[in-house]
Amino acid sequence: MNTATRTIDLKRGQQGLEVQPGYFARRDRWDWLFALLVIAGAVWAFVHYRDAMDIYEEWILAGTAPSLIWLGWFWRPMRTLMVVVSALSLLAIWLYMGPDGNADLARADQAFMLKYFISSQSAILWMSVLFFMSTLFYWVGMFTRAGETFEVLGTRLAWVAVTLALVGTMVRWFESHQIGPDIGHIPVSNLYEVFVLFCWMTAAFYLYYEEQYKTRSMGAFVMLVVSAAVGFLLWYTVVREAHQIQPLVPALKSWWMKLHVPANFVGYGTFAIAAMLAFAYLIKQSASETRWYKLAPLWLLGIVLCLEPIVFRQSSMDKGASYWFVYFGVSALIVGGIMAARRRIAERLPSFEVLDDVMYKAIAVGFAFFTIATVLGAFWAAEAWGGYWSWDPKETWALIVWLNYAAWLHMRLMKGLRGTVAAWWALVGLAVTTFAFLGVNMFLSGLHSYGEL
């Protein structure tokens, strides 16, 4: 080795030994500006709404600020989302204020922006429409030459829908406090509110995976489950008038709810993403299959998905029956269309490795948060009912969900679970999770009967 070569190798070695800048040293001025905005917002909320907070809520607010800063630093699109949501929410609050400086909920039907865009109900209805449109554009992108253009539109509409869902949630929180001193609460207390939570959280997690893996074709499948949730939300709004803000039952008047429910729905949302990508995996796998008995399991899955609305119809004493028949028909057409066009769809989908990896990561994230939610739920139960665990139907099925995904992850990490078995297992997991979420409320009674159908 000559002298010149040794000199080059020495320089490379020295460069390799150079200490990389620390986490905070890598932050630019926009990072710090964003952090200052979040801290300023937290201080403003504390000053203006301290009278409506107890000591636990003050500590939750204090912990929320650094969490949001980290999230904005971790994934930059979240900064824009937070700033826009904050601006529109503050605009809505300002529009609610009357000449005397007090909030007047009657202005929801008087102020143009509130009436048509950013009152809680208007924003959530816009969320519903935009999620449907996003799903449609993702699917149009599957079958047209200008597919990428339509998929980009699908992505952008999904972002706007997430934005309006969060605006609707924040404004609904404000509205609840204007009804009465003991009525105000974070809107995660009933089926209507948690379905809104499920929709935006599932979409937001999907959008993160979409950006990380540089593919939009997964959105066609993931947004189907979001649109299905929107369909249920609209039916529930009409049948139960669930958009009306109601006082909390005594057991829900706890700060544990503010932690337990969102953590739970991170799990529900990511489990749903994994299941829909498992469905996409199986469709891609069946692209060249022509033997009917090999395709039978997928047809059976489609039939089960389409018949699910009939259960809701029966559980609601035939209220909205025509709605569910239309829902059933649309579902059948979608499933039939997917099966018929599976070759074209398979060409647009990302590789098996990408689908499998996103499915795994979604379940891993969901399992972590679902575990946290289960532990928090035990503490909440001890406070509300005097015991950490009572084998209530909801608790029992939560344990079943946890064991199911624990087993899935164990088989993945210890035995290398991949492919078809993993995909079918993820789909079965969604069925189990759906029963734990909705089925228990429909068919079983217990201490958790707060969201009856």
**In degrees to the nearest 10, what's the CA dihedral of 88, 90, 91, 97?**
150
| Calpha distance 425→320 (Å, rounded) | 33
Mean per-residue pLDDT, 303-311: 60
pLDDT at 268: 96
Residue 276: partners with Cβ closer than 8 Å, 6 or more residues away: 221, 222, 224, 225
Closest listed residue to residue 148, CA positions, set 348, 287, 344: 348
Q: Does the pLDDT at position 73 exceed 70? A: yes
Mean pLDDT of 374-403: 88
Sorting pLDDT into bands at 50, 70 and 90, what band is 403? Answer: very high
Quote the tokens at residue 93.
């609050």
Whether 319 has a pLDDT exceeding 80, the answer reads: no
Residue with tokens 């999907």: 206
CA 168 – CA 123 distance, rounded (Å): 5
> Mean pLDDT, to the nearest integer, of 85-90?
96
Helix, strand, coil: what percent of the chain each, to 5? 80, 0, 20
Sorting pLDDT into bands at 50, 70 and 90, what band is 317? very low
Separation CA 319–CA 316 (nearest Å): 6
User: SS3 of 368, please?
Assistant: helix
* Tens-digit pLDDT profile for residues 10-39: 555 555 555 678 888 889 999 999 999 999
pLDDT surpassing 50 at residue 130: yes
pLDDT digits (tens, 9 = 90+) for 266-285: 999 999 999 999 999 999 98
**pLDDT tens sequence across 227-245:** 999 998 998 888 778 888 8
Per-residue pLDDT reduced to its tens digit, 110-119: 999 999 999 9
Q: What percent of the chain has pLDDT over 70?
A: 86
Amino acid at 271: F
Which pair of tokens denotes residue 154? 């699908």
Classified as helix, coil or strand, 50 is helix
443 Cα distance to chain centroid: 25
Cα–Cα distance between 158 and 334 in angstroms, integer?
A: 20
Q: Residue 217 in 3-state DSSP?
A: coil
Query: Which residue, among 452, 358, 448, has the nearest Cα to 398 in the 3D structure?
Result: 448
Spatial separation of the C-alpha atoms in residues 320 and 8, rounded to whole Å: 76
Q: How many CB atoms lie within 10 A of CB 210?
A: 20
CA distance linking residue 324 with residue 308, whole number of Å: 9
SS3 408: helix
Is the pLDDT at 263 greater than 60? The verdict is: yes
* Residue-averaged pLDDT of the chain: 87
What average pLDDT score do residues 210-235 get?
93
